[in-house]
Amino acid sequence: MDKLILIDGNNIIYRAFFAMPPLTNTAGQQTNAVYGFTTMLLRLIEEHKPSHLIVAFDAGKITFRHEGYEDYKGGRQKTPPELSEQFPMLKDLLRDMGVPQFEISGYEADDIIGSISREADEAGRQVMIVSGDKDMLQLASEYTTVALVRKGVTEVELYGPQQIREKYDLTPEQIIDLKGLMGDASDNIPGVPGVGEKTALKLLHQFGSVEGVLAGTGELKGKMKEKLEEHADSAVMSKKLATIYREVPLEHAWEDMEFTGIKGDTAGPALAKLEFKSLLERLSLSAYSPSSEGAVEAVEAAVLDITIVGESELEDLISALPGISALHVESNGENPHRAEVIGLGLSSPERHYFVPFALLQSHAAAPLRAWLGDSKAPKSGYDLHRADLALHWQGIPFAGAANDVQLAAYLLDPTEANQNLNDLTAKYGLPRLSPDEEVFGKGAKYKIPELEILGNHVARKSATVLGIVEKQQQELTETAMTGLFEDLEMPLSRILADMEKQGIAVNKEDLKELGKEFEAQISKLVAEIYEICGTEFNLNSPKQLGEILFVKLGLPVVKKTKTGYSTDAEVLEKLAPYHDVVRLILQYRSIAKLQSTYVEGLLKEVSEVTGKVHTFYRQTIAATGRLSSQFPNLQNIPIRLEEGRKIRKVFVPSEPGWSILAADYSQIELRVLAHISGDERMKEAFLHDMDIHTKTAMDVFGVTADQVDSNMRRSAKAVNFGIVYGISDYGLSQNLGISRKEASHFIEQYFEVYEGVRRYMDDIVLDARKQGYVTTLLERRRYLPEINAKNFNLRSFAERTAMNTPIQGTAADIIKLAMVHMDKALYERGLKSRMLLQVHDELVFEVPEDELELMKELLPKVMAGALTLSVPLKAEVSYGSNWYEAK
DNA sequence: AATGTCACG
DNA sequence: ACGTACGTGACATTC
Residue nearest to nucleotide C8 (CA to C1'): A628
**Strand C positions closer than 7 A to protein CB:** 1-15
Residue nearest to nucleotide B6 (CA to C1'): A593
Residue nearest to nucleotide C12 (CA to C1'): A540
Q: Smallest CA–C1' separation from A585: which nucleotide?
A: B5
Residue nearest to nucleotide C4 (CA to C1'): A731
Tell me the per-residue pLDDT of A391-416, one tens digit each, with 9 for 90 and over. 999 999 999 999 999 999 999 999 98
Tell me the per-residue pLDDT of A482-515, one tens digit each, with 9 for 90 and over. 999 999 999 999 999 999 999 999 999 999 999 9
Task: Tell me the CA–C1' distance in angstroms for A742 and B1.
Answer: 42
pLDDT bracket for residue A60 (50, 70, 90): low
pLDDT > 50? residue A293: no
Residue nearest to nucleotide B9 (CA to C1'): A840
Look at residues A306, A304, A353, A299 and name the one whose alpha carbon lies nearest to residue A326. A353
Q: Is the CB of A163 under 7 A from strand B?
A: no
Q: Smallest CA–C1' separation from A546: which nucleotide?
A: B4
Q: A102 - beta bridge partners?
A: A56
Residue nearest to nucleotide C9 (CA to C1'): A633
- The chain-wide mean pLDDT, for chain A, equals 90
Task: Tell me the CA–C1' distance in angstroms for A250 and C9.
Answer: 52
Tell me which H or E stretch contains A101.
Answer: strand A101-103
Tell me the per-residue pLDDT of A239-291, one tens digit each, with 9 for 90 and over. 887 888 888 888 767 888 999 888 888 888 888 888 888 888 888 777 777 65
Q: Is the CB of A569 under 7 A from strand B?
A: yes
- Alpha carbons A784 and A705: distance in angstroms, whole number: 40
Task: Tell me the CA–C1' distance in angstroms for A151 and C13.
Answer: 26
Residue nearest to nucleotide C13 (CA to C1'): A541
Tell me the per-residue pLDDT of A810-827, one tens digit each, with 9 for 90 and over. 999 999 999 999 999 999
Per-residue confidence (pLDDT) for residue A571, from 0 to 100: 92
Residue nearest to nucleotide B5 (CA to C1'): A568
Q: What is the pTM of this model?
A: 0.71
Q: Is the CB of A731 under 7 A from strand B?
A: no
Task: Tell me the CA–C1' distance in angstroms for A129 and C15.
Answer: 22
Q: Is the CB of A643 under 7 A from strand B?
A: no
- Alpha carbons A44 and A48: distance in angstroms, whole number: 6
Task: Tell me the CA–C1' distance in angstroms for A8 and B3.
Answer: 28
| Long-range contact set of residues A11-14: C-beta below 8 Å, sequence gap at least 24 | A11/A109, A11/A131, A11/A132, A11/A133, A11/A149, A12/A37, A12/A40, A12/A130, A12/A131, A12/A132, A12/A149, A12/A153, A13/A37, A13/A83, A13/A86, A13/A87, A13/A90, A14/A83, A14/A132
Q: Smallest CA–C1' separation from A635: which nucleotide?
A: B8
Cα A335 from chain centre: 21
Q: Smallest CA–C1' separation from A647: which nucleotide?
A: B7
pLDDT > 60? residue A22: yes
Task: Tell me the CA–C1' distance in angstroms for A65 and C12.
Answer: 53
pLDDT > 80? residue A297: no
Tell me the per-residue pLDDT of A646-704, one tens digit each, with 9 for 90 and over. 999 999 999 999 999 999 999 999 999 999 999 999 999 999 999 999 999 999 999 99
Spatial neighbors of A161 by CB under 8 A, at least 6 apart, are A140, A141, A142, A171, A172
Tell me the per-residue pLDDT of A829-877, one tens digit each, with 9 for 90 and over. 999 999 999 999 999 999 999 999 999 999 999 999 999 999 999 999 9
Q: Smallest CA–C1' separation from A636: which nucleotide?
A: B8
pLDDT > 80? residue A65: no
Q: Is the CB of A648 under 7 A from strand B?
A: no
Does residue A110 contact residue A103 with C-beta atoms inside 8 Å? no
